[in-house]
Amino acid sequence: MNEVIKVLCERRSTRSYSEEQIPLNILNEILKCGTYAPSGMGKQSAVIVVIRNKKIIEDIEKINRSFINNNENFHPFYKAPTLLVVLADKNINTYIEDGSAVIINILNAAYSLGVNSCWIHRARETFETKYGKELLKKWGLNENYIGIGNVVLGYRNVEMPKPSKRKENYIIFDEKE
């Protein structure tokens, strides 16, 4: 297996992190790979917001949790030290796919550099709230930007999870080779 195939098949979502922060040079490499994701007509409709301030991560996490439950013992960002929010401009009709492609590049680039990650849902809902809209403003983004997904990044303090079995008939050939 070459290194790229290995990364693509062996990356797994991590749900428990140490407090160790990712060095900026490594984070920048990961972010660069996000920006090189494919996008519809090359329009690059997505943006990546990087949050390393613990208080702001916790505030966004609180909103994220409010869409699932109000159990304060549940940490939907798993106490990871870095949070990325990927948003994309809804005026570009491939914005959801564009943002998703950015996230996938980030997850795989991170793993290739020894950084663990997890894609976390409910970014759309988060940036429809009053606080979410205030953050958009702070980041210089208008309300055309829709949350596509959150990515938490850091170093795991648990075993690497095993992949679930791939389902039957995942791949369908139109004609037998």
Give whichever of 162 and 176 is closer to ligand FMN, judged by the CB atom: 162
**Shortest CB 111 distance to ligand FMN, Å:** 10
* Cα distance between residue 140 and residue 142, in whole Å: 7
Told to check if 163 binds ligand FMN by CB under 6 A, we report: yes
**Shortest CB 65 distance to ligand FMN, Å:** 10
Told to check if 13 binds ligand FMN by CB under 6 A, we report: yes
- In the three-class reduction of DSSP (H, G, I as helix; E, B as strand; rest coil), residue 166 is classed as coil
Sorted by sequence, the CB contacts under 8 Å of residue 143 that are 6+ apart come out as: 133, 136
Q: Which of 118, 136, 151, 153 binds ligand FMN (CB under 6 A)?
A: 118
**Shortest CB 11 distance to ligand FMN, Å:** 7
Decide if 21 contacts 52 (C-beta within 8 A): yes
Residue 45 identity = S
Q: Compute φ and ψ for 59, nearest 5 degrees.
A: -65, -40
- Enumerate binding residues for ligand FMN (CB under 6 A): 12-13, 15, 118-121, 161, 163
